[in-house]
Amino acid sequence: MVHDVIQELEELYAELPTINCKGLCWNSCGPIDLSDAERQRIVDLGVDIPVFTEDRARRWANDEKGELYCPALSFGAHEGGMGCTAYEARPMICRLWGLSEGDMSCPHGCEPSTRLTPAEVYRFIGRSFKIGGHGDVDVDRGLDVLEALMSDPDQAEIVTRFMGGDHSVAAELRTAVENHRRA
């Protein structure tokens, strides 16, 4: 069963554009949100990734990094330098890094075979949560809300900014989601 879930996740990862990675951006490896199955896969390798919280993300964005670096990072894991010890099992969010427009584009100039839009990035994340589970979150409902928000240019901009790390729009985004749920 667990094996089937990993297989499904691998099939989803295979849908992603490819990128010629230089493995240089370990300093972007901070708080990440991942599905339950992806977390367990990394736990099985001996690394426990802390649960993602808005507070951790905010502190990371405010440059209070310190202990917020991902525990899968290790010196010597990539060509003698810092790298991911769980690279083959890294979750969707890490595989998306460098593939998107804007703030998730590669800071070292690696070019993906196709560049994803923020909406496509969210859909991939949502689909990974759907396959791997994500606590008691209703992922289907979340994907529906995402589709609705992304179809409205004003709300799409809020989602895109939040996804790019602009936490000043968190309250606006929460309101937009609540309004959609009430509608």
The three-state DSSP-derived secondary structure of 39-72 is: HHHHHCCCCCCCCCCHHHHHHHHCCCCHHHCCCC
- Return the residue of 94, 96, 150, 163 that touches ligand SF4, per CB under 6 A: 94
How far apart CA 100 and CA 35 sit, in angstroms, is 20
How far apart CA 177 and CA 183 sit, in angstroms, is 10
- Return the residue of 68, 110, 119, 148 that touches ligand SF4, per CB under 6 A: 110
* Residue 112, beta-bridge partner list: 19
Q: What six digits make up the tokens of 78?
A: 């990539």
The three-state DSSP-derived secondary structure of 122-141 is: HHHHHHHHHHHCECECCHHH
In angstroms, give the least distance from the CB of 113 to ligand SF4.
12
Q: Which stretch binds ligand SF4 (CB under 6 A): 22-30, 122-130, 135-143, 169-177?
A: 22-30
What residues between 144 and 173 interact with ligand SF4 by CB under 6 A? none
In angstroms, give the least distance from the CB of 32 to ligand SF4.
5
In angstroms, give the least distance from the CB of 7 to ligand SF4.
20
- Return the residue of 60, 97, 124, 162 that touches ligand SF4, per CB under 6 A: 97
Provide the binding-site residues for ligand SF4, judged by CB under 6 A.
Answer: 19, 21-25, 29, 32, 70, 72-73, 84, 86, 90, 94, 97-98, 106, 108, 110
